[in-house]
Chains A and B, each alone.
Chain A
Amino acid sequence: MGEEVILLDFWPSMFRMRVRIALAEKGVKYEYRDEDLLKGGKSRYLLQVNPAHKKIPVLIHNGKPISKSSIIVQYINEVWNDKAPLLPSNPYERAQARVWTDYIDKKVYDAGRKLWTTTGEEQEAAKKDFFEIFKTLEGQLGGEPYFGEENLGYVDVYLIPYYCWFHAYETMANISMEGECPKLVAWAKRCAQKKSVSESLVDEKKISGFVLK
């Protein structure tokens, strides 16, 4: 069966890293097109396929576009269901995984941003908030190697792109991720040992450079 899979995205997007990891885990071949949205170079194709949302990444499978990383990752999991299941088969555990990715969506990005957009007392409050969130996530790991227990799962794929932002967070806010959340950092390093992850993560120095611009 001829499959055409195209991924439209822009390199520092941590959301797209999730999609790349999921595709790699499933061994799906795809074509990658870089859309530099910051340069205002939104391609006609992007607007055509994604008029409602205007956000990247967009996966195009056999001409059908899908956007939003949570939706794309679940789609990839359902279509290429022959290997590396990313979601548990049990509905209750699946629900828990979705609750945690929802939590990550709502909390982590904004908490991270506040670390470099605030100063003084506000920044101290932001740091407290930030670590509360990461410690909550760390608590969810329990004693397992991954959020997906034995293997990389939906929550791991969802959270791990933030690993390349740790260096930026630490630099901008003078904090230590390992100091506060050692188990989480250990988890991140464990994930990064997987080829699907290491090949999809952006170099952390590039991210710091991008943030400092």
Chain B
Amino acid sequence: MAEELKLYGTWVSPFSRRVELALKLKGIPYEYIEEDLHNKSPDLIKYNPIHQKVPVLVHNGKPIVESLVILEYIDETWKNNPILPQDPYQRALARFWAKFIEEKILPLAMKVTNSEEKEKEKVVVEMFQLMKVLEGELNGKDFFGGESIGYVDIVATIIAVWFQVTQEVIGVKIVSEEKFPVLFKWIEKLKSIDVVKECIPPRDKHITYVKARIEAALLKSAPN
């Protein structure tokens, strides 16, 4: 039976781009469908009725949602170039760090963007603490995955790329070379990898997009 693999995503979603990165790392051919989230396709609604979000990976007609779940599915289905470690303990650690990023770092990053000036400082300090913990995990390695990128690196591209863009737009620097030299180096190494470059939004377009979103949010919350 011919394999049919479709990925529904958007050019700017770090969650759908990380799935693309995994697919490209493994050299898996797929059809990409760009979604307009203001005008969701009937397919997206059919394949992800509960959340109607991207990414959705559809493999031979069967949908898988949630980017972390999709990453594990890809690794379990196409066993070449593994992105998760083979050892159960190392795998547990990789899953832990991915969850740490998703459940601790990301919500706090959103708070940095959305909070009032006086609260911002406090939130930024909290962010520094979390980022220090994450940086500690690199511990002399080139990547979280060791000599080459793995699951945690893929999940952390949101920090390497998306955070940088938002921080530039709102004028708050979290990952500076002075404060986080190890993490900074990791970001440079990650961004120099060809396949990673293919899965990053074009910088100018990205900056314009984030600016527009933040302005729209400010307008919404502005007093009448």
Scan B79-98; emit 1 where CB is below 8 A from any A CB, else 0: 00000000011011101100
Task: Assess A61 versus B95: contact at CB under 8 Å? Given A95-B69, A95-B72.
Answer: no
Contact B66 A94 (CB under 8 A): no
Specify which of B66, B73, B76, B100 is in contact with A52 (CB 8 Å cutoff).
B100
Q: Is B222 an interface residue (CB 8 A)?
A: no
Which chain B residue shows the least CB distance to A105?
Answer: B103
A64 x B89 contact (CB < 8 A): yes
In the assembled complex, the Cα of A91 lies from the Cα of B73 at a distance in Å of: 6
> Bound state CA distance, A74 and B88, in angstroms?
9
Other-chain residue from A61, A68, A75, A99 in contact with B66 (beta carbon distance below 8 A): A99
In this complex, the interface size class of chain A, counting residues with CB under 8 Å from chain B, is 20 to 34
With A64-B89, A75-B89 known as contacts, the answer to whether A95 contacts B96 (CB < 8 A) is: no
On whether the beta carbons of A66 and B96 are closer than 8 Å, the reply is yes
Chain B's interface: helix, strand, loop or mixed, by majority?
A: helix
The residue on A at minimum CB distance from B97 is A52
Does A172 have its Cβ within 8 Å of any Cβ on chain B?
Answer: no
Interface string of A107-143 (1 = CB under 8 A from B): 0000000000000000000000000000010000000
Asked whether A98 is an interface residue with its Cβ less than 8 Å from the other chain, the reply is: yes
Whether A53 contacts B100 in the complex (CB less than 8 A), given A71-B95, A74-B95, A95-B69, comes out as yes
Q: Which of A51, A53, A66, A94 makes the CB contact (< 8 A) with B89?
A: A66
Asked if B64 lies at the interface with its beta carbon under 8 angstroms from chain A, I say yes
Instruction: State whether the Cβ of A200 lies closer than 8 Å to any Cβ in chain B.
Output: no
Instruction: Give 25 A-B contacts (CB < 8 Å), ordered by A residue.
Output: A61-B89, A64-B89, A66-B93, A67-B96, A68-B95, A70-B95, A71-B92, A71-B99, A72-B92, A74-B92, A75-B88, A78-B91, A92-B59, A92-B62, A92-B64, A94-B72, A95-B72, A98-B66, A98-B68, A98-B69, A99-B64, A99-B66, A102-B68, A103-B50, A136-B50
Q: Give the A-binding residues of B (Cβ under 8 A).
A: 50, 59, 62, 64-66, 68-70, 72-73, 76-77, 88-89, 91-93, 95-96, 99-100, 133
Binding site for B on A (CB under 8 A): 51-53, 61, 64, 66-68, 70-72, 74-75, 78-79, 91-92, 94-96, 98-99, 102-103, 136
